[in-house]
């Protein structure tokens, strides 16, 4: 997720009428004790988030939210900050509706109490939009990201970390939508701005680097992607730790590069290392875990290990359908890869049905000209060809070629790892 608020120290004082001095002192001491406890929650929360312990962080955020309300009332910036923190932790745990509910409340309070163009409000906009992207609600996310960037650019010092996050997040959304030129412009500006604003080893750089690498991979620029991934992994291991979920996703993204270079042994080792970290930190049924499961399944398919490929892809698909429902790009990706396994097993009817279902989801989400649709059409054409449906095979190939032709740089012919999601 995006940068998060740190709760600031609260100086609480009792204003008491008509009671003894000893009673007033006792009440004041009780308030100060609660204030100190709230500050300790802030320290604990920051540490747990840094370590990727999102379940514990969410529990702390929930307690701190209740305490801050009892101390300060419902309408206070500290309350809004804890709503934001709770939303972030819920999003990391794939509790997306809980995240939306908390982030909406945080945004509403920040707009009212601090103003629409201040940094805390911009962060709330970014965080809410990021959850919408996770849920494939792109029409809801885009105006929030655009508004956040517009507000950030009004700042007296616009080239700051908040602006960098706005640029990078908007770039990631454009990549998701297949708008690669816009994505590249925003991501590179975001990275340059972030590099000027923070320490070169700050963990905030990790996701920007990984996303920019994924964009290069999507356009067959693998020589440009690997240095970014190596840098991201180095920063993540140093700043977040070797067992952090973001570190695992860096390792998994490197595994994809290793597979494409046909270094299958290293790719398998990297995928399995990433999977072990994610299963331990986030659980076996988390959508980030499903990313690695799906990529490991694809490695097995490429190597001809079709039975484990099928089992793993079915596992990834089950996780994603449970988390996202039926209409989500990650579900489409699993269906497509599932189709490729069935195709390799000469089960043309099921492969065709799975591939068509994946294409239908992509068309519903992105329209008719997304590069992932072209990639899926290319495979569907191969399935048609193998099953003797030559006319429809030719039509599918022509449509795929037409989509690819619209890109200034030819996209890769396979789905890239979904680490950037």
- At 296-332, the pLDDT tens digits run 999 999 999 999 999 999 999 999 999 999 999 999 9
DSSP 313-328: HHHHHHHHHHHH-SS-
Considering the domain architecture, whether residues 57 and 84 belong to the same structural domain is answered as yes
**201 secondary structure, DSSP code:** T
- Are both 107 and 119 inside the same structural domain? no
Residue by residue, DSSP assigns 150-173 as HHHHTSSS-SSHHHHHHHHHHHHH
CA 394 remoteness from chain centre:
37
Distance CA 63, CA 52 (A): 19
Mean predicted lDDT score pLDDT of the chain? 89
Q: What is the mean pLDDT of residues 13-34?
A: 51
Q: Is residue 347 part of a domain?
A: no
Task: Yes or no: say if 277 and 249 are a contact pair by the CB < 8 Å rule.
Answer: no
Domain count, the chain: 2
- pLDDT bucket at 18, cuts 50 / 70 / 90: very low
User: Residues 181, 81: one domain?
Assistant: no
Q: Are residues 119 and 189 in the same domain?
A: yes
Q: Give 94-129 pLDDT, tens digit per residue.
A: 999 999 999 999 999 999 999 999 999 999 999 999
Average pLDDT over residues 52-80: 94
Distances (CA, A) of 69 to 73, 101, 120, 129, 228: 5, 17, 19, 25, 43
pLDDT of 28: 60
Instruction: Decide if 145 is inside a domain.
Output: yes
Same-domain pairing of 127 and 108 = no
Domain residues for the domain of 173 are 114-198
350 occurs within a structural domain = no
Q: Which residue, among 234, 301, 315, 244, has the nearest Cα to 267 in the 3D structure?
A: 301
Task: Give the least confident one: 284-288, 311-315, 404-408.
Answer: 404-408
Q: Is the pLDDT of residue 63 over 90?
A: yes
Mean pLDDT, to the nearest integer, of 277-305? 96
Inside any domain, residue 183:
yes
Q: Which of 81, 112, 143 is the last residue of a domain?
A: 112
pLDDT > 90: percent of the chain:
80
SS3 at position 357: helix
Could you tell me if 108 and 118 lie in one domain?
A: no
pLDDT of residue 26: 53
Ranges 53-67, 109-123, 153-167, 318-332: which has the least confidence = 153-167
Is pLDDT at 272 greater than 80 in this prediction?
Answer: yes
CATH number of the domain residue 90 falls in? 1.25.40.10
Last residue of one domain, picked from the residues 198, 216, 251: 198
Tokens 């359908």 belong to which residue?
321
Instruction: Count CA atoms closer than 13 A to 203's CA, side-chain side.
Output: 19
* pLDDT (0 to 100) of residue 318: 97
**Residue 404 falls within a domain, yes or no?**
no
Asked, for residue 217, whether it belongs to a domain, the answer is no
H or E element in which residue 205 lies? helix 205-218
- Do 89 and 180 belong together in one domain? no
C-alpha span between 50 and 57 (Å, rounded): 10
Is 421 a domain residue?
no
User: What are the tokens at 348?
Assistant: 């043309």
Q: Is residue 108 part of a domain?
A: yes
Q: Give which of 321, 340, 339 is closest to 330, Cα–Cα.
A: 321
Question: Which comes out higher in pLDDT, residue 159 or 103?
Answer: 103
| pLDDT of amino acid 222 | 85
Angstrom CA distances, 29 to 22, 32, 39, 41, 291, stand at: 10, 5, 15, 18, 50
pLDDT computed for residue 20 by the predictor: 47
Which percentage of the chain shows pLDDT scores above 70? 89
> How confident is the model over 203-220, as pLDDT tens digits?
999 999 999 999 998 888
Looking at the structure, tell me whether residues 120 and 98 fall in a common domain: no
5 and 107, same domain (yes or no): yes
At 19, the pLDDT band (50, 70, 90 cuts) reads very low
Quick: pLDDT tens for 28-37. Answer: 666 677 788 8
DSSP letter at 76 equals -
Q: Which helix (H) or strand (E) holds 26?
A: helix 21-51
69 and 18 both lie in a single domain: yes
Q: Are 126 and 103 in the same domain?
A: no
Q: Is the dihedral of CA 180, 184, 186, 191 positive or negative?
A: positive
Of 112, 141, 163, which closes a domain?
Answer: 112
In this structure, what token pair is assigned to residue 185? 């412009």
The answer to whether the CB of 164 falls within 8 A of the CB of 188 is no
Whether residues 1 and 105 share a domain: the answer is yes
**Is residue 376 within 8 Å of residue 362, measured between CB atoms?**
yes
pLDDT at 27: 53
pLDDT in tens, 237-270: 999 999 999 999 999 999 998 998 899 999 999 9
> How far apart are the C-alpha atoms of 8 and 176, rounded to whole Å?
36
The predicted model scores a pTM of 0.88
More confident residue, 399 or 261: 399
Quick check: 205 and 232 in contact, CB under 8 A?
yes
User: Quick one: average pLDDT of 376-396?
Assistant: 97
């Amino acid at each position: 997720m995006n940068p998060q608020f740190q709760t600031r120290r609260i100086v609480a004082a009792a204003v008491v009428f008509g009671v003894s001095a000893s009673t007033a002192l006792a009440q004041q001491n009780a308030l100060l004790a609660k204030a100190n406890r709230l500050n300790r929650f802030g320290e604990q929360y920051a540490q747990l988030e840094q370590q990727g312990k999102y379940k514990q962080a969410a529990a702390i955020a929930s307690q701190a939210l209740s305490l801050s309300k009892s101390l300060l009332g419902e309408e206070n910036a500290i309350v809004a900050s804890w709503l934001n923190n709770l939303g972030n932790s819920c999003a990391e745990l794939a509790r997306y509706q809980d995240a939306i509910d908390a982030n909406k409340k945080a945004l509403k309070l920040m707009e009212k109490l601090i103003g629409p163009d201040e940094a805390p409000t911009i962060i709330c906009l970014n965080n809410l939009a990021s959850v919408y992207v996770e849920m494939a609600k792109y029409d809801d996310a885009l105006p929030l990201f655009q508004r956040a960037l517009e507000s950030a650019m009004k700042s007296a010092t616009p080239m700051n970390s908040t602006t960098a996050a706005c640029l990078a997040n908007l770039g990631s959304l454009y990549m998701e939508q297949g708008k690669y030129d816009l994505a590249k412009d925003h991501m590179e500006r975001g990275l340059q701005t972030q590099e000027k604003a923070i320490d070169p080893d700050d963990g905030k750089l990790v996701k920007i680097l990984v996303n920019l690498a994924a964009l290069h991979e999507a356009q067959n620029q693998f020589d440009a992607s690997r240095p970014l991934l190596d840098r991201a992994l180095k920063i993540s291991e140093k700043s977040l730790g070797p067992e952090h979920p973001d570190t695992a996703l860096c390792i998994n993204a490197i595994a994809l590069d290793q597979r494409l270079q046909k270094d299958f042994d290293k790719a398998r080792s990297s995928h399995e290392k990433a999977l072990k970290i994610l299963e331990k930190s986030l659980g076996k049924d988390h959508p980030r875990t499903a990313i690695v499961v799906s990529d490991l399944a694809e490695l097995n398919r490429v190597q001809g290990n079709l039975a484990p490929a099928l089992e793993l892809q079915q596992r990834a698909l089950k996780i994603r359908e449970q988390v996202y429902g039926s209409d989500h790009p990650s579900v489409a990706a699993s269906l497509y890869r599932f189709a490729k396994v069935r195709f390799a097993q000469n089960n043309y009817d099921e492969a065709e049905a799975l591939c068509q279902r994946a294409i239908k989801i992509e068309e519903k989400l992105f329209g008719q000209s997304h590069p992932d649709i072209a990639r899926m059409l290319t495979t569907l054409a191969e399935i048609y060809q193998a099953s003797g449906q030559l006319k429809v095979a030719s039509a599918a190939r022509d449509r795929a070629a037409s989509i690819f032709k619209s890109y200034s740089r030819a996209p890769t012919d396979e789905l890239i790892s979904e680490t950037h999601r």
